[in-house]
Amino acid sequence: MPLVWATAVSVQLRIPYEVVEDFTYVQPSATLRGVVTIVSQLNEVLHCRAKLLCHNCTISPEEFTAVLRLKYDTRAVPVEVKLGNRPAELRAVVICNSSVAVARKLFVPATVWKVDIEVVAPSDAFCSSDQRYERYMFVVKPSYVPALIRFIAGESQASGHPDLIGLMCIRIINNTAGLKYTAVLIFTRPDGSPAPISTQSLLLNPEAVQQYGVAVVPDIVSRQVVPLFYPGYAEQAAGRYRVTALLIPQGGSRPVYNTTFYITVVSTRGEAVALTTFSVFVAIPAMIYLLFQFAKRATLSDLAFASLMASLLFVTVYIPGNVARGIGAFLGPFDWLVYGIFFDTVEFALLTITVMLRPKLGMLTAIFLIRWLLSVLYFGRAGVISVLWLATSAFFYESALYLSGATRGKTTFARVATPLVLGGAFDRYVDMIMYMSLYRLYYADWYLMSYVTGTSIYSAFGALLGRRYARIVRGALHE
Protein backbone atom coordinates (compact mmCIF):
# COMPACT_ATOMS: atom_id res chain seq x y z
CA MET A 1 0.00 0.00 0.00
CA PRO A 2 1.50 3.39 -0.94
CA LEU A 3 2.25 5.93 1.78
CA VAL A 4 0.02 9.00 1.98
CA TRP A 5 0.43 12.35 3.73
CA ALA A 6 -2.34 12.49 6.29
CA THR A 7 -3.17 13.76 9.74
CA ALA A 8 -3.19 10.43 11.49
CA VAL A 9 -0.53 11.70 13.92
CA SER A 10 1.03 15.00 14.85
CA VAL A 11 4.74 15.33 15.66
CA GLN A 12 6.40 17.93 17.86
CA LEU A 13 10.10 18.47 18.52
CA ARG A 14 10.70 20.01 21.94
CA ILE A 15 14.48 20.42 21.80
CA PRO A 16 15.46 21.92 24.19
CA TYR A 17 12.50 21.04 26.37
CA GLU A 18 11.07 24.54 26.56
CA VAL A 19 11.41 25.41 22.85
CA VAL A 20 8.58 24.28 20.55
CA GLU A 21 9.40 26.57 17.61
CA ASP A 22 11.02 25.11 14.49
CA PHE A 23 13.98 27.50 14.77
CA THR A 24 16.28 28.26 17.70
CA TYR A 25 19.69 29.74 18.41
CA VAL A 26 22.16 27.55 20.25
CA GLN A 27 25.67 27.78 21.56
CA PRO A 28 28.34 26.23 19.28
CA SER A 29 29.23 22.62 20.16
CA ALA A 30 26.23 22.45 22.49
CA THR A 31 24.55 19.28 23.68
CA LEU A 32 20.77 19.64 23.83
CA ARG A 33 18.24 17.39 25.49
CA GLY A 34 14.55 17.25 24.76
CA VAL A 35 11.70 15.02 23.61
CA VAL A 36 10.09 13.96 20.36
CA THR A 37 6.33 13.75 20.88
CA ILE A 38 3.82 11.98 18.66
CA VAL A 39 0.06 12.25 19.22
CA SER A 40 -2.64 10.12 17.59
CA GLN A 41 -5.38 11.99 15.76
CA LEU A 42 -7.50 8.89 14.98
CA ASN A 43 -9.55 6.64 17.20
CA GLU A 44 -7.86 3.45 15.99
CA VAL A 45 -4.70 1.47 16.66
CA LEU A 46 -1.64 2.96 14.96
CA HIS A 47 1.69 1.16 14.64
CA CYS A 48 4.26 3.88 14.29
CA ARG A 49 7.93 3.91 13.38
CA ALA A 50 9.91 7.12 13.72
CA LYS A 51 13.24 7.90 12.09
CA LEU A 52 15.28 10.91 13.20
CA LEU A 53 17.56 12.43 10.55
CA CYS A 54 20.17 14.91 11.71
CA HIS A 55 22.19 17.07 9.28
CA ASN A 56 25.43 18.54 10.73
CA CYS A 57 24.57 16.99 14.07
CA THR A 58 24.19 13.64 15.78
CA ILE A 59 21.12 12.40 17.62
CA SER A 60 20.46 9.53 19.97
CA PRO A 61 18.36 7.46 19.49
CA GLU A 62 18.11 7.62 15.73
CA GLU A 63 14.80 5.73 15.54
CA PHE A 64 12.06 4.30 17.75
CA THR A 65 8.69 2.58 17.50
CA ALA A 66 5.40 3.16 19.28
CA VAL A 67 1.83 1.87 19.32
CA LEU A 68 -0.97 4.40 19.71
CA ARG A 69 -4.30 2.81 20.57
CA LEU A 70 -6.72 5.72 21.03
CA LYS A 71 -7.25 9.22 19.77
CA TYR A 72 -4.89 11.66 21.53
CA ASP A 73 -2.77 8.76 22.78
CA THR A 74 0.72 10.25 23.21
CA ARG A 75 4.29 9.01 23.27
CA ALA A 76 7.22 11.21 24.27
CA VAL A 77 10.72 9.86 23.64
CA PRO A 78 13.76 11.58 25.23
CA VAL A 79 16.52 12.46 22.77
CA GLU A 80 19.96 14.04 22.90
CA VAL A 81 21.35 16.20 20.10
CA LYS A 82 25.04 17.06 19.76
CA LEU A 83 25.81 20.08 17.60
CA GLY A 84 28.93 21.49 15.99
CA ASN A 85 29.83 24.96 14.77
CA ARG A 86 27.58 24.97 11.71
CA PRO A 87 23.79 25.28 11.35
CA ALA A 88 22.09 21.93 11.79
CA GLU A 89 18.72 20.53 10.78
CA LEU A 90 16.75 17.78 12.49
CA ARG A 91 13.89 15.99 10.72
CA ALA A 92 11.58 13.48 12.33
CA VAL A 93 9.77 11.20 9.87
CA VAL A 94 6.97 9.20 11.52
CA ILE A 95 5.15 6.47 9.60
CA CYS A 96 1.95 5.21 11.24
CA ASN A 97 0.22 2.45 9.24
CA SER A 98 0.03 4.11 5.83
CA SER A 99 0.28 7.74 6.97
CA VAL A 100 3.40 9.90 7.14
CA ALA A 101 4.05 12.92 9.37
CA VAL A 102 7.21 15.03 9.28
CA ALA A 103 8.53 17.62 11.73
CA ARG A 104 11.55 19.82 11.17
CA LYS A 105 13.76 21.92 13.46
CA LEU A 106 16.71 24.18 12.62
CA PHE A 107 19.54 24.91 15.05
CA VAL A 108 21.71 27.96 14.35
CA PRO A 109 24.92 28.38 16.41
CA ALA A 110 25.30 31.92 17.71
CA THR A 111 28.63 33.44 18.74
CA VAL A 112 27.08 36.70 19.95
CA TRP A 113 24.26 36.59 22.50
CA LYS A 114 22.27 39.75 23.03
CA VAL A 115 20.94 38.72 26.40
CA ASP A 116 21.77 40.53 29.59
CA ILE A 117 21.09 39.88 33.24
CA GLU A 118 20.03 42.15 36.05
CA VAL A 119 20.68 41.14 39.63
CA VAL A 120 18.08 42.45 42.09
CA ALA A 121 19.58 42.32 45.56
CA PRO A 122 18.03 42.46 48.02
CA SER A 123 14.80 41.24 46.43
CA ASP A 124 11.35 40.23 47.55
CA ALA A 125 9.53 37.06 46.48
CA PHE A 126 8.33 38.82 43.31
CA CYS A 127 11.77 39.89 42.05
CA SER A 128 11.32 43.54 42.95
CA SER A 129 13.04 45.87 45.37
CA ASP A 130 12.20 49.20 46.96
CA GLN A 131 14.10 51.93 45.12
CA ARG A 132 14.92 53.53 48.45
CA TYR A 133 17.03 50.57 49.56
CA GLU A 134 20.79 50.49 49.24
CA ARG A 135 21.57 48.12 46.39
CA TYR A 136 23.45 44.91 47.26
CA MET A 137 23.07 45.61 50.99
CA PHE A 138 21.58 42.80 53.11
CA VAL A 139 20.43 43.48 56.67
CA VAL A 140 20.25 40.18 58.57
CA LYS A 141 18.37 39.16 61.66
CA PRO A 142 20.48 39.05 64.86
CA SER A 143 20.92 35.72 66.60
CA TYR A 144 19.25 37.20 69.67
CA VAL A 145 16.74 40.04 69.71
CA PRO A 146 15.87 41.55 73.13
CA ALA A 147 12.28 41.08 74.21
CA LEU A 148 11.59 44.83 74.22
CA ILE A 149 12.69 45.21 70.59
CA ARG A 150 10.67 42.15 69.57
CA PHE A 151 7.65 43.68 71.30
CA ILE A 152 8.12 47.00 69.50
CA ALA A 153 8.67 45.39 66.09
CA GLY A 154 5.84 42.90 66.65
CA GLU A 155 7.72 39.68 65.95
CA SER A 156 8.69 36.55 67.84
CA GLN A 157 12.19 35.31 68.50
CA ALA A 158 11.60 32.13 66.49
CA SER A 159 10.16 33.81 63.40
CA GLY A 160 11.92 33.26 60.07
CA HIS A 161 15.14 31.45 59.22
CA PRO A 162 17.99 32.48 61.53
CA ASP A 163 20.51 31.56 58.82
CA LEU A 164 18.79 33.46 55.99
CA ILE A 165 20.87 36.31 54.58
CA GLY A 166 18.19 37.42 52.14
CA LEU A 167 16.70 36.93 48.69
CA MET A 168 18.41 37.61 45.39
CA CYS A 169 16.74 37.65 41.98
CA ILE A 170 18.35 36.84 38.62
CA ARG A 171 16.45 38.57 35.82
CA ILE A 172 17.11 37.73 32.14
CA ILE A 173 16.82 40.71 29.79
CA ASN A 174 16.25 40.55 26.00
CA ASN A 175 15.46 36.83 26.01
CA THR A 176 13.15 37.18 23.02
CA ALA A 177 13.61 33.53 21.99
CA GLY A 178 12.35 32.30 25.37
CA LEU A 179 15.37 30.06 25.93
CA LYS A 180 16.32 28.63 29.29
CA TYR A 181 19.59 29.63 30.90
CA THR A 182 21.61 28.48 33.87
CA ALA A 183 23.06 31.14 36.15
CA VAL A 184 26.15 30.33 38.20
CA LEU A 185 26.89 32.58 41.18
CA ILE A 186 30.38 32.40 42.66
CA PHE A 187 30.80 33.96 46.12
CA THR A 188 34.30 34.82 47.34
CA ARG A 189 35.80 36.69 50.28
CA PRO A 190 37.98 39.77 49.74
CA ASP A 191 41.06 37.52 49.92
CA GLY A 192 39.74 35.32 47.10
CA SER A 193 38.75 32.30 49.22
CA PRO A 194 35.27 30.77 48.79
CA ALA A 195 32.60 32.44 50.92
CA PRO A 196 30.33 30.19 53.05
CA ILE A 197 27.15 31.20 51.25
CA SER A 198 24.72 28.74 49.69
CA THR A 199 21.16 28.53 48.40
CA GLN A 200 20.06 25.84 50.86
CA SER A 201 19.66 26.02 54.61
CA LEU A 202 21.80 23.60 56.59
CA LEU A 203 20.75 24.95 59.97
CA LEU A 204 17.23 23.54 59.61
CA ASN A 205 18.23 20.67 57.30
CA PRO A 206 21.63 19.44 58.53
CA GLU A 207 21.54 16.31 56.35
CA ALA A 208 21.49 18.30 53.12
CA VAL A 209 24.60 18.33 51.00
CA GLN A 210 25.55 21.79 49.75
CA GLN A 211 28.61 23.22 48.07
CA TYR A 212 29.41 26.56 49.59
CA GLY A 213 30.68 29.43 47.54
CA VAL A 214 28.91 28.36 44.32
CA ALA A 215 25.18 28.57 43.60
CA VAL A 216 23.73 27.05 40.42
CA VAL A 217 20.33 28.40 39.36
CA PRO A 218 18.98 26.34 36.41
CA ASP A 219 16.11 26.80 33.98
CA ILE A 220 15.79 30.59 34.03
CA VAL A 221 13.61 32.02 31.26
CA SER A 222 12.76 35.48 32.58
CA ARG A 223 13.57 35.62 36.31
CA GLN A 224 14.28 33.45 39.30
CA VAL A 225 14.40 34.32 43.01
CA VAL A 226 16.92 32.41 45.12
CA PRO A 227 17.56 32.53 48.88
CA LEU A 228 21.03 32.98 50.32
CA PHE A 229 21.96 31.12 53.50
CA TYR A 230 24.92 31.05 55.86
CA PRO A 231 25.95 27.88 57.78
CA GLY A 232 25.10 29.35 61.16
CA TYR A 233 23.40 32.51 62.34
CA ALA A 234 23.19 35.02 59.52
CA GLU A 235 24.73 37.84 61.55
CA GLN A 236 27.99 35.85 61.54
CA ALA A 237 28.16 36.47 57.79
CA ALA A 238 28.61 40.23 58.30
CA GLY A 239 31.13 41.50 55.78
CA ARG A 240 31.69 42.24 52.11
CA TYR A 241 31.70 39.56 49.41
CA ARG A 242 32.55 39.46 45.73
CA VAL A 243 29.94 37.82 43.48
CA THR A 244 30.67 36.64 39.94
CA ALA A 245 27.55 35.87 37.89
CA LEU A 246 27.83 33.64 34.80
CA LEU A 247 25.01 32.98 32.34
CA ILE A 248 25.11 29.73 30.34
CA PRO A 249 22.53 28.73 27.68
CA GLN A 250 20.89 25.37 28.13
CA GLY A 251 23.02 22.71 26.53
CA GLY A 252 26.05 24.99 26.37
CA SER A 253 29.33 24.71 28.19
CA ARG A 254 30.60 28.29 28.01
CA PRO A 255 29.08 31.40 29.60
CA VAL A 256 27.64 34.03 27.29
CA TYR A 257 27.51 36.68 29.99
CA ASN A 258 29.84 37.50 32.86
CA THR A 259 29.51 40.22 35.46
CA THR A 260 30.94 40.96 38.90
CA PHE A 261 29.45 42.90 41.81
CA TYR A 262 29.85 43.09 45.58
CA ILE A 263 27.30 42.44 48.32
CA THR A 264 27.50 43.62 51.90
CA VAL A 265 25.94 41.86 54.88
CA VAL A 266 25.28 43.91 58.02
CA SER A 267 23.45 43.51 61.31
CA THR A 268 21.64 46.40 63.01
CA ARG A 269 21.22 44.91 66.46
CA GLY A 270 23.46 47.54 68.06
CA GLU A 271 21.62 50.47 66.47
CA ALA A 272 18.22 49.03 67.37
CA VAL A 273 19.25 48.53 71.00
CA ALA A 274 20.79 52.01 71.27
CA LEU A 275 17.85 53.86 69.71
CA THR A 276 15.26 51.87 71.64
CA THR A 277 17.14 52.53 74.88
CA PHE A 278 17.26 56.25 74.11
CA SER A 279 13.56 56.37 73.28
CA VAL A 280 12.42 54.37 76.31
CA PHE A 281 14.75 55.77 78.96
CA VAL A 282 15.29 59.33 77.70
CA ALA A 283 12.61 60.51 75.26
CA ILE A 284 9.56 59.02 76.98
CA PRO A 285 10.52 60.26 80.49
CA ALA A 286 11.27 63.67 78.97
CA MET A 287 7.85 63.72 77.30
CA ILE A 288 6.14 62.83 80.59
CA TYR A 289 8.07 65.58 82.36
CA LEU A 290 7.12 68.15 79.69
CA LEU A 291 3.45 67.20 79.92
CA PHE A 292 3.58 67.47 83.71
CA GLN A 293 5.17 70.93 83.56
CA PHE A 294 2.68 72.11 80.95
CA ALA A 295 -0.31 70.83 82.92
CA LYS A 296 0.98 72.50 86.08
CA ARG A 297 1.45 75.94 84.49
CA ALA A 298 -1.17 75.98 81.72
CA THR A 299 -4.30 78.06 81.93
CA LEU A 300 -7.69 77.04 80.62
CA SER A 301 -6.97 79.18 77.54
CA ASP A 302 -3.70 77.25 76.92
CA LEU A 303 -5.49 73.92 77.12
CA ALA A 304 -8.18 75.08 74.72
CA PHE A 305 -5.54 76.44 72.34
CA ALA A 306 -3.60 73.14 72.42
CA SER A 307 -6.76 71.18 71.68
CA LEU A 308 -7.68 73.53 68.85
CA MET A 309 -4.26 73.35 67.18
CA ALA A 310 -4.07 69.57 67.59
CA SER A 311 -7.46 69.18 65.90
CA LEU A 312 -6.41 71.60 63.19
CA LEU A 313 -3.21 69.62 62.57
CA PHE A 314 -5.15 66.38 62.42
CA VAL A 315 -7.69 67.74 59.91
CA THR A 316 -5.39 69.82 57.69
CA VAL A 317 -2.20 67.74 57.89
CA TYR A 318 -2.70 64.14 58.99
CA ILE A 319 -5.76 63.20 56.91
CA PRO A 320 -4.90 64.95 53.60
CA GLY A 321 -1.22 64.05 54.08
CA ASN A 322 -1.98 60.33 54.13
CA VAL A 323 -4.16 60.72 51.04
CA ALA A 324 -1.32 62.59 49.30
CA ARG A 325 1.09 59.82 50.31
CA GLY A 326 -0.93 57.36 48.24
CA ILE A 327 -1.24 59.79 45.32
CA GLY A 328 2.50 60.44 45.32
CA ALA A 329 3.38 56.73 45.22
CA PHE A 330 4.01 56.99 41.46
CA LEU A 331 7.06 59.14 42.25
CA GLY A 332 8.72 56.21 44.01
CA PRO A 333 11.41 57.39 46.43
CA PHE A 334 10.42 61.01 45.82
CA ASP A 335 6.84 60.66 47.02
CA TRP A 336 7.66 63.18 49.75
CA LEU A 337 7.44 65.87 47.07
CA VAL A 338 3.65 65.40 47.22
CA TYR A 339 2.85 64.56 50.83
CA GLY A 340 5.52 66.99 52.10
CA ILE A 341 3.15 69.82 51.20
CA PHE A 342 1.00 68.75 54.14
CA PHE A 343 3.36 66.99 56.55
CA ASP A 344 6.01 69.70 56.26
CA THR A 345 4.76 72.97 54.79
CA VAL A 346 1.29 73.10 56.36
CA GLU A 347 2.38 71.46 59.62
CA PHE A 348 5.33 73.79 60.18
CA ALA A 349 3.19 76.81 59.38
CA LEU A 350 0.84 75.77 62.17
CA LEU A 351 3.72 74.91 64.54
CA THR A 352 5.27 78.34 63.94
CA ILE A 353 1.95 80.02 64.67
CA THR A 354 1.63 77.93 67.83
CA VAL A 355 5.04 78.85 69.24
CA MET A 356 4.72 82.52 68.23
CA LEU A 357 1.41 82.79 70.06
CA ARG A 358 1.99 80.35 72.96
CA PRO A 359 5.76 80.10 73.58
CA LYS A 360 5.41 77.77 76.54
CA LEU A 361 7.43 74.71 77.43
CA GLY A 362 5.37 71.58 76.80
CA MET A 363 2.83 73.21 74.47
CA LEU A 364 4.04 71.30 71.39
CA THR A 365 4.21 68.07 73.39
CA ALA A 366 0.58 68.46 74.44
CA ILE A 367 -0.44 69.16 70.83
CA PHE A 368 1.47 66.12 69.53
CA LEU A 369 -0.14 63.91 72.18
CA ILE A 370 -3.68 65.11 71.42
CA ARG A 371 -3.14 64.63 67.69
CA TRP A 372 -1.82 61.11 68.32
CA LEU A 373 -4.89 60.32 70.43
CA LEU A 374 -7.14 61.54 67.60
CA SER A 375 -5.38 59.29 65.09
CA VAL A 376 -5.76 56.32 67.44
CA LEU A 377 -9.43 57.13 67.98
CA TYR A 378 -10.26 57.49 64.28
CA PHE A 379 -7.86 55.01 62.64
CA GLY A 380 -6.96 52.59 65.44
CA ARG A 381 -3.20 53.02 64.90
CA ALA A 382 -1.68 52.61 68.34
CA GLY A 383 1.58 50.79 67.59
CA VAL A 384 4.39 50.91 70.10
CA ILE A 385 6.73 52.46 67.55
CA SER A 386 4.30 55.36 67.08
CA VAL A 387 4.65 56.12 70.80
CA LEU A 388 8.44 56.16 70.41
CA TRP A 389 8.17 58.51 67.43
CA LEU A 390 5.85 60.74 69.46
CA ALA A 391 8.34 60.86 72.33
CA THR A 392 11.38 61.56 70.14
CA SER A 393 9.53 64.33 68.26
CA ALA A 394 8.57 66.00 71.53
CA PHE A 395 12.12 65.64 72.85
CA PHE A 396 13.88 67.16 69.81
CA TYR A 397 11.42 69.99 69.16
CA GLU A 398 11.11 71.06 72.78
CA SER A 399 14.87 70.81 73.40
CA ALA A 400 15.67 72.91 70.33
CA LEU A 401 13.11 75.59 71.26
CA TYR A 402 14.34 75.69 74.85
CA LEU A 403 17.99 76.02 73.83
CA SER A 404 17.15 78.83 71.38
CA GLY A 405 15.27 80.69 74.10
CA ALA A 406 11.95 80.68 72.27
CA THR A 407 10.18 79.05 75.24
CA ARG A 408 12.16 81.04 77.82
CA GLY A 409 10.76 84.48 77.08
CA LYS A 410 12.98 85.34 74.08
CA THR A 411 10.46 84.73 71.34
CA THR A 412 11.48 86.01 67.91
CA PHE A 413 10.84 84.51 64.50
CA ALA A 414 14.46 83.44 64.08
CA ARG A 415 14.48 81.80 67.54
CA VAL A 416 11.28 79.93 66.60
CA ALA A 417 11.83 78.96 62.94
CA THR A 418 15.47 77.88 63.21
CA PRO A 419 15.04 75.32 66.00
CA LEU A 420 11.79 74.05 64.47
CA VAL A 421 13.40 73.39 61.07
CA LEU A 422 16.64 71.96 62.47
CA GLY A 423 14.86 69.94 65.15
CA GLY A 424 12.43 68.62 62.56
CA ALA A 425 15.27 67.53 60.26
CA PHE A 426 17.07 65.73 63.09
CA ASP A 427 13.82 64.15 64.28
CA ARG A 428 13.04 62.79 60.79
CA TYR A 429 16.53 61.36 60.46
CA VAL A 430 16.41 59.63 63.86
CA ASP A 431 12.90 58.29 63.21
CA MET A 432 14.05 56.87 59.88
CA ILE A 433 17.12 55.25 61.42
CA MET A 434 14.96 53.78 64.20
CA TYR A 435 12.50 52.36 61.66
CA MET A 436 15.35 50.88 59.62
CA SER A 437 16.97 49.33 62.68
CA LEU A 438 13.81 47.79 64.12
CA TYR A 439 12.61 46.34 60.82
CA ARG A 440 16.05 45.51 59.38
CA LEU A 441 15.99 47.84 56.39
CA TYR A 442 18.82 49.79 54.82
CA TYR A 443 17.85 52.90 52.94
CA ALA A 444 20.41 54.37 50.56
CA ASP A 445 22.36 57.41 51.77
CA TRP A 446 21.19 59.45 48.77
CA TYR A 447 17.58 58.77 49.72
CA LEU A 448 18.05 59.74 53.37
CA MET A 449 19.83 62.97 52.42
CA SER A 450 17.33 63.92 49.73
CA TYR A 451 14.42 63.14 52.06
CA VAL A 452 15.76 65.11 55.03
CA THR A 453 16.99 68.03 52.89
CA GLY A 454 13.87 68.25 50.76
CA THR A 455 11.44 68.09 53.66
CA SER A 456 13.52 70.69 55.53
CA ILE A 457 13.11 73.09 52.61
CA TYR A 458 9.35 72.47 52.75
CA SER A 459 9.49 73.10 56.51
CA ALA A 460 11.36 76.39 56.11
CA PHE A 461 8.77 77.59 53.61
CA GLY A 462 6.03 76.56 56.05
CA ALA A 463 7.72 78.53 58.84
CA LEU A 464 7.70 81.64 56.63
CA LEU A 465 3.98 81.16 56.02
CA GLY A 466 3.45 80.73 59.74
CA ARG A 467 5.17 84.05 60.45
CA ARG A 468 2.87 85.80 58.01
CA TYR A 469 -0.35 84.32 59.39
CA ALA A 470 0.64 84.48 63.06
CA ARG A 471 -0.40 88.16 63.22
CA ILE A 472 -3.77 87.34 61.64
CA VAL A 473 -4.43 84.54 64.11
CA ARG A 474 -3.28 86.78 67.00
CA GLY A 475 -5.79 89.41 65.94
CA ALA A 476 -8.54 86.80 65.66
CA LEU A 477 -7.76 85.65 69.22
CA HIS A 478 -7.70 89.32 70.40
CA GLU A 479 -4.21 88.94 71.88
Same domain for 259 and 278? no
Which domain CATH number covers 165? 2.60.40.2550
Same domain for 18 and 105? yes
Same domain for 101 and 191? no
Q: Give SS3 for 309.
A: helix
- Nearest CA to 429 out of 220, 233, 275, 307 is that of 275
Same domain for 216 and 75? no
**Alpha carbon distance 164, 184 (integer Å):** 20
Same domain for 391 and 339? yes
Sheet of strand 223-229: strand arrangement: 116-120, 164-173, 223-229
Same domain for 340 and 441? yes
DSSP class of residue 158 equals T
- Nearest CA to 232 out of 350, 141, 121, 362 is that of 141
Residue where a domain terminates, one of 109, 127, 159: 109
Same domain for 56 and 200? no
Same domain for 49 and 178? no
Residue 31 to residues 55, 221, 460, Cα–Cα distance (Å)? 15, 18, 67
Q: Print the domain residue range for 221.
A: 116-267
User: What kind and span of H or E run contains 388?
Assistant: helix 384-404
Cis, bond preceding 419 (omega within 30 deg of 0): no
Q: What is the pLDDT of residue 3?
A: 45
Residue where a domain terminates, one of 243, 267, 291: 267
Q: What is the pLDDT of residue 205?
A: 63
Q: Specify the pTM.
A: 0.72
Residue where a domain terminates, one of 237, 267, 297: 267
Same domain for 421 and 435? yes
Instruction: Please list the rounded mean pLDDT of every run of 10 residues in the chain (479 residues).
Output: 61 83 82 90 90 92 91 91 90 89 88 80 88 88 63 58 87 78 88 86 62 82 89 84 87 79 83 78 92 90 92 92 88 91 94 92 94 88 82 94 90 92 92 82 87 94 91 71
Q: What is the pLDDT of residue 420?
A: 94
Same domain for 254 and 291? no
Same domain for 377 and 232? no
| Number of domains making up the chain | 3
Cβ partners under 8 Å of residue 454, min gap 6: 334, 336, 337, 340
Which domain CATH number covers 75? 2.60.40.10
Same domain for 233 and 120? yes
